């Protein structure tokens, strides 16, 4: 196949974009956005400064890509939980249990990247704010749907509307994540989760 004005193909990106995002996410997660320097990101990714700017434009855009990558990772985890859960209430319980496991496994006590982001950046950058609103919308939709199905199967009481219980679960998760920064005692955290979930029973 011949073309008169054939486009010459350039040298391509050689790094694994998803791996780089993972490495950058680790730094942002550990230090937060503002305390993370471009040098930190160069060191963590092994990429050259100009390669980072070529591929991600700016520190802020790289951060946003990390947030999206982190969100996608958790969406996949949630999806696999939904598949293996026995029923909607059990799915909610497994999600909370998963978060407790993450907290205990997090020896650096970093908390949740997205919760930290909300605390640090929600009122500072409009694109970050937009991401956070979207993340909230999707999380609320997941919980609301599970509560609605749980109520239909009479596993969850109907004292409150699914929207209200969805908000309650979303807020409880954020509280759990914050609490988990200083407290990593599995028994105490699970008791907290039991109290939270008994409300739905």
Which residue, among 45, 52, 50, has the nearest Cα to 20 in the 3D structure? 45
Decide: is 126 part of the binding site for DNA (CB under 7 A). Answer: no
Least Å from the CB of residue 19 to DNA: 13
Least Å from the CB of residue 7 to a second copy: 44
Which residue, among 188, 14, 194, 164, has the nearest Cα to 96 in the 3D structure? 194
Report DSSP state, residue 61: H
User: Which residue is it, tokens 């949740």?
Assistant: 112
Indicate which of a second copy, DNA, none lies near residue 3 (CB less than 5 to 8 Å, by partner kind): DNA
Indicate which of a second copy, DNA, none lies near residue 126 (CB less than 5 to 8 Å, by partner kind): none
Which residue, among 114, 92, 104, has the nearest Cα to 166 in the 3D structure? 92
Q: Which is nearer to DNA, 42 or 181 (CB)?
A: 42
Residues that bind DNA (rule: CB under 7 A) add up to a total of 28
Site for DNA in 16-75 (CB under 7 A): 36-40, 47-51, 53-55, 58-60
Q: Which is nearer to DNA, 59 or 177 (CB)?
A: 59
Q: Which is nearer to DNA, 53 or 170 (CB)?
A: 53
Q: Which is nearer to a second copy, 16 or 171 (CB)?
A: 171
- Angle, helix 38-45 to helix 59-84, in steps of 10 degrees: 50
Indicate which of a second copy, DNA, none lies near residue 49 (CB less than 5 to 8 Å, by partner kind): DNA
Q: What distance in Å separates the CA atoms of residue 148 and residue 116, rounded to the nearest whole number?
A: 29
**Cα 31 to Cα 35, 36, 69, 74, distances in angstroms:** 6, 6, 18, 20
Least Å from the CB of residue 27 to DNA: 10
């Amino acid at each position: 196949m011949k073309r008169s004005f054939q486009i010459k193909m350039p040298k391509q990106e050689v790094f694994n974009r998803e791996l780089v995002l993972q490495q950058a996410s680790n730094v942002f997660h550990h230090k937060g956005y503002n305390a993370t320097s471009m040098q930190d990101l160069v060191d963590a990714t092994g990429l050259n400064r100009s390669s980072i700017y070529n591929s991600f434009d700016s520190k802020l855009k790289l951060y946003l890509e990390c947030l999206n990558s982190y969100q996608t990772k958790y969406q996949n985890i949630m999806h696999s939980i939904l598949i293996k859960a026995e029923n909607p209430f059990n799915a909610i319980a497994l999600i909370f249990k998963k978060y407790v496991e993450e907290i205990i496994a997090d020896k650096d006590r970093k908390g949740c990247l997205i919760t930290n982001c909300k605390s640090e950046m929600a009122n500072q950058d409009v694109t970050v704010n937009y991401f956070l609103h979207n993340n909230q919308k999707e999380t609320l939709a997941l919980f609301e749907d599970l509560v609605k199905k749980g109520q239909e199967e009479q596993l969850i009481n109907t004292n409150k509307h699914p929207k209200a219980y969805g908000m309650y679960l979303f807020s409880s998760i954020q509280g759990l994540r914050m609490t988990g920064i200083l407290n990593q005692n599995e028994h105490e955290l699970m008791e907290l989760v039991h109290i939270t979930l008994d409300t739905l029973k």
